[in-house]
Amino acid sequence: MPEFVKAHLFESLEGGTARCLVCPRECVLKEGQIGFCGTRVNQGGEIYSMIYGMVSSVAIDPIEKKPLFHFHPGSPCLSFGSFGCNFRCIHCQNWSISHRLVEKGIPDGRYLSPQDGVKIALENQAKGISWTYNEPTIWHEYTMDMGKIAKEKGLYTVYVTNGFITPQALKELSQVLDAFRVDLKGWEKEFWRRICKIDDPAPVFRAAYEAKNKYHMHVEVVTNVIPTFNDDDQTFTNLARWILDNLGADCPWHITRFVPYLELSHLPYTPLSTLERGRSIGLETGLKFVYLGNVPGHPGENTFCPKCGTLLIERYGFWIKKNLLSSNNHCPKCGEKINIVGSIERQKNLFF
């Protein structure tokens, strides 16, 4: 394991304490104390990252797996994950890495330099890099360094994030980040307290707004619909209206099926009718692209022209079966411009 790397964003305080400024928890740490995320420590009155270059997972994914449907569709993306998180979601599918206590050791992790990460992406003909699986915000220094190299080599860059990031960190990150795939997990504060263990989701909504409107990143939103927690019509309506008013009608919203896990293992899978109701509410509110996730083969995975209703992209899960868009991403029937970044690539290893 390499030596710890000094954090980019912190404030030294009196008595040898220091405040981390990467996420809105802004943990104030005494000498030797580790932050809530389990990855940042006070050494000598300064904050250091304990996970710089420590990789838990590396995989080539279709960009649709993030999910991103309007950003370089069909392209292979090299995905990296590390350890730790600034949330403690009680249903986390990746809890084995995101809830990891780094100070107890990470024998299943390995060091990968930013240079080598980009090299692997290029060798595997990936079109971009994403930081995902656990929360990339707490990997800030590493993703910044890799992002700079990736951009120099012509690769796109993606955060798959809970959006719990400070304005300072987002501003710095904007230098190297192209896409911000953010979870808007619910609406009511009580939901966020119970599910994510944060008191106020306002920083998440602020980060999504700034990523799109201040830093001009491509933004797509995901809401995982948990039965009895965030599956009511008012939640769907509030989220749809917020997206429409703050991110625009063209912003894709992915409404995904919950899978029972951890402390929520007793709940059922989200009924398909609930997902369809949420999609209808999103479209009726004025959003042009509302997708259903974790329901392979459902028409809600497909892209339709918001003007004339023509099927434009047919998907099955993470795979594109048909692309009927014109070469410049317009509807071939009515000419409507579709807000897709980049051209649609023909996917490899696809059998239909």
- Measured CA to CA, the distance from residue 340 to residue 107 in angstroms comes to 41
Give pLDDT, residue 305.
98
Helix (H, G, I), strand (E, B) or coil at 331: coil
Give pLDDT, residue 275.
98
- Measured CA to CA, the distance from residue 235 to residue 238 in angstroms comes to 5
Give pLDDT, residue 347.
73
Residue 179 forms beta bridges with which residues? 158, 218
Give pLDDT, residue 215.
98
Give pLDDT, residue 330.
96
Task: Give the mean pLDDT per block of 10 residues along the chain (352 residues).
Answer: 86 97 98 96 97 96 98 97 96 90 69 97 97 97 98 98 98 98 98 97 98 98 98 98 98 98 97 98 98 98 98 96 93 96 75 41
Give pLDDT, residue 105.
62
Give pLDDT, residue 343.
85
Token pair listed for 262: 């951890």
Please state the φ and ψ torsions of residue 189, each to the nearest 5 degrees.
-60, -40
CA 129 to chain centre: 13
Give pLDDT, residue 219.
98
Angle at the Cα of 59 from the Cα atoms of 54 and 65, rounded to 5 degrees? 120
- Measured CA to CA, the distance from residue 58 to residue 39 in angstroms comes to 19
Give pLDDT, residue 104.
62
Which residue ranges make up each domain of the chain? 5-49, 54-323
Helix axes 233-246, 272-285, angle to 10 degrees: 40
Give pLDDT, residue 102.
66
Q: Which superfamily does CATH assign the domain made up of 54-323 to?
A: Aldolase class I (3.20.20.70)
Give pLDDT, residue 99.
86
